[in-house]
Amino acid sequence: MYHIPDYQENLSLRLSEVLDDIGVNEEILLKRRRAVLLGETMWTITYRSIDKRVSVQMFGSASEGTTTTGLNSDVDRLGCFYGYNVIQNYAEWEPGFTNLLMIQDKTTSPGYCLLQRIRDDVPLLAKHVLDEDFVRDANGRVLLKNTLHRDFTPAYAVEHGPSWATQGVPGTKDTDTVPAFNCNSWPYEARAWLERQGIGRWPTADMKRFAVNNGCFVVPVASKVSQNPEIEWRISTSQAERCLMFSLNITQIRCYVLMKMFLKTFLHHAGESHITSFMCKTVLLHCIENTHSNAWQENNLFTCLSCCLHVLYKCLQQDICPHFIIPENNLMAGQFSPEVKALLLERMFHLIQSDGQALLGVQIDDLGQRLQIKLNMLDQIPGNTPSKKEICQNISGGLLLDTAITITECSSIILSKTIQNSPATMVQNLLNVITNYKRYYREGSYLEQRACSLLARLVCSTLGTTIASINIQTNNTIPPEALDWLSAGLNSDVASGRLKLASVLYSVGNKVETEFILRDMERCYGFDNVESACYCCNFKASTDLKMLYQNEEVVRSVCAFCVQFIPAEIHCVPQELQYEMYRSTQDDLLHRDEHADYWMDWAVVESLPYLYFLQYKTYRHLQRVDDQHQALTNLARTTETRRNLGHKETGLNLLGQCMEQENQPNKALLCYMMSLKVRERNNAAKVHICRLLANFIRSIS
């Protein structure tokens, strides 16, 4: 191997140390990937459990682990709709699907195709345009328009080309979701890649075999230079690309991260037309393919980075960046105006000529400052700069919370899609969901087993409470079946499963057992290592977990989900909380978001204030006055001072009703007014204020 200059080797090693310190290391890389793969598995199982033929896959930086805290990369999510079957020959036609033939001709851009409708009954070309999603072209072909994706775009999302985006939601990452259709076969246009062999003998035969076995997707977007902007679809090899990224060593990953940091710091200010991270990834893959594998070592990181920047500069000069798998697809075609191109070339030239000095100007994750310290250019690291341990711990905690939020979101979707007016029908629907979980657990992959284990417990709790509610209404008893399901859901997290069991026991007057469960739960919160996780309220979690995330099972011991009661569970809900199911006036209903406010006909409260509320009510019935007052003090402190409290208005409404029971109507009214400041509409506080004033008028009349 050629000799690496001493200064470049020293710079490479120090740069590798810095990236290791900010979380670009093997341990965090594997954690990021596992968390994302588990999340997409939970989503897919959830949709399949409510009879939607959809799978969810995460691509881009989140799934690859090629991001940092400072880069704050979006989540790229692909939703594959399996009601459509894209085929490349008639032998792939399947009954029961909308079959679409992939067509490439002189009018289609490389890497893109048209989708021609095939008849449903036999594998022959369709002759009739069925609806507005199809159009007949000049050759008489019935083609699917790429505007079809608008049918899948939720009302709450913002359209971004072929994707829809959710942005600015506290506690969650910005997400771009792209709808797609699956093609089980490898695209003809990409078959030359299977025979291509680079200097580094990479990609391997196993990687290419994986690509062929997993086929491709088509997504609804045309090329920038398309002749058919409304009917052209892009061929996506995202599955294969993710496999390639998973095969890279840590130096190759670090090189890509540095390219993205340069992109964001120096090259992202040229208007809408700019170099994308996907172009950087493509350049990296070409460089890996065309260099010996032993070049990608920690002591050669800076040289590898310089090589990638030179190749990217050359691509920009020539306006050609060939897609790694379909090189005829030029990623830079039609992307840059002459003015933007000249500006980008000038900036890239200075980056390359800086011979590493530009790295010192990267402020993302304090990279430049950290590098100066490693190179002895600064005396010491500033006191407010987090250590490697703190950074890795924060990343791990964030991944753990992402998993917890996904669990609660998937559970809420299951509940919202299975709710029926009849509680008995609701029970059957939940049993069907659990049966589906059992099947995945028995027949599925390891990830599917983990996903089902995490999702099933919340459904078990709801099923147990629903069965109990039916029996409490008729004979005020809890059947053994309900207790069995509640026990199965007990360890879904630190609190919500136990609080549902406590609510059931409280509802039938079993205050002693209720008090025992609540006292045991309070000890868990006393260690100050429990983090709230609530998707429906979109609050920003603090991510201040006091332990490293080793695996997803930790959710059960450090996370507390909000407690959700659907209408079918109403007889297990204390009367004070039942008001939350009737929070909305007719006028309020007009101010609901169909997606975000799905829970507003339920009674939902964060675990900690509900724990103290149930303690207050239980001790009051047991006539333990000191404990009763302590519980009330804890409830007041939690609702009024706890940071990032989910469903704070509900906590305040519960506190107000406790104050009424303490014969302190003035304090109760203050709680309701504070509650209205938190949520002006769709708030049961209005009912409580009216009731409180009516009682006051009645008392003086």
What letter does residue 419 receive in the DSSP assignment?
Answer: -
- E strands, 551-602, are 559-561, 563-565
Look at residue 170 in the predicted model and tell me its pLDDT: 46
Is this structure's pTM higher than 0.85?
yes
In terms of Cα–Cα distance, which of 269, 271, 287 is closest to 279? 287
Q: What is the pLDDT of residues 597-619, one digit of tens each?
A: 889 999 999 999 999 999 999 99
In the predicted structure, residue 358 carries a pLDDT above the cut 90: yes
The mean of the pLDDT values for the chain is 90
In the predicted structure, residue 362 carries a pLDDT above the cut 60: yes
Higher pLDDT, 170 or 83: 83
In terms of Cα–Cα distance, which of 125, 102, 124, 106 is closest to 114? 102
Q: How far apart are CA 85 and CA 99, in angstroms?
A: 5
In terms of Cα–Cα distance, which of 77, 73, 27, 79 is closest to 48? 79
Tokens of 482: 């309900």
In the predicted structure, residue 206 carries a pLDDT above the cut 50: yes
DSSP SS3 for 648:
helix
Measured CA to CA in angstroms, residue 459 lies from 404, 430, 628, 653 at distances of 15, 7, 32, 27
The burial class, CB within 10 Å (0-12 / 13-18 / 19+), for 296 is buried
* 9-13, 597-601, 625-629: least confident range: 597-601
CB 118 within 8 A of CB 215: no
Q: What is the pLDDT of residues 13-33, one digit of tens each?
A: 999 999 999 999 999 999 999
In terms of Cα–Cα distance, which of 619, 622, 687, 623 is closest to 653? 687
In terms of Cα–Cα distance, which of 235, 240, 182 is closest to 209? 240
Show contacts of 275-278: CB within 8 Å, 24+ apart. Answer: 275/312, 275/316, 275/344, 276/331, 277/60, 277/61, 278/331
Higher pLDDT, 522 or 250: 250
| Confidence at 176, pLDDT banded by 50, 70, 90 | confident
Query: Which residues partner with 113 through β-bridges?
Result: 233
Q: How far apart are CA 674 and CA 445, in angstroms?
A: 49
Helices within 367-445 (DSSP H only)? 367-374, 388-418, 423-443
Look at residue 171 in the predicted model and tell me its pLDDT: 47
Across residues 439-456, what is the average pLDDT? 94
In the predicted structure, residue 156 carries a pLDDT above the cut 70: no
Q: How far apart are CA 546 and CA 393, in angstroms?
A: 8
Q: What is the pLDDT of residues 302-326, one digit of tens each?
A: 999 999 999 999 999 999 999 999 9
Across residues 49-55, what is the average pLDDT? 85
Q: How far apart are CA 204 and CA 342, in angstroms?
A: 38
Look at residue 546 in the predicted model and tell me its pLDDT: 47
Q: What is the pLDDT of residues 215-240, one digit of tens each?
A: 999 999 999 888 889 999 999 999 99
Look at residue 273 in the predicted model and tell me its pLDDT: 64
CB 283 within 8 A of CB 252: no
Q: How far apart are CA 128 and CA 121, in angstroms?
A: 14
Torsion on CA atoms 404, 571, 660, 502, rounded to nearest 10: -50
Q: What is the pLDDT of residues 391-445, one digit of tens each?
A: 999 999 889 989 999 999 999 999 998 888 889 999 999 999 999 999 999 999 9
Whether omega before 203 lies within 30 degrees of 0, making that bond cis, reads yes
CB 116 within 8 A of CB 228: no
Q: How far apart are CA 282 and CA 298, in angstroms?
A: 21
Across residues 579-586, what is the average pLDDT? 93
Higher pLDDT, 630 or 177: 630
Look at residue 344 in the predicted model and tell me its pLDDT: 93
Show contacts of 334-342: CB within 8 Å, 24+ apart. Answer: 334/223, 334/224, 334/225, 335/224, 335/273, 336/273, 337/273, 340/270, 340/271, 340/273, 340/274, 341/316
To the question of domain 53-245 being in CATH 1.10.10, the answer is: no
Across residues 115-139, what is the average pLDDT? 92
Helices within 527-664 (DSSP H only)? 555-558, 575-578, 586-589, 607-622, 625-641, 648-661
Across residues 465-482, what is the average pLDDT? 96
Q: What is the pLDDT of residues 520-567, one digit of tens each?
A: 998 887 656 788 888 776 555 554 554 545 677 888 888 899 999 999
**So where are the chain's domains?**
53-245, 390-579+593-599+607-647
Q: What is the pLDDT of residues 53-79, one digit of tens each?
A: 889 999 989 899 999 999 988 888 999
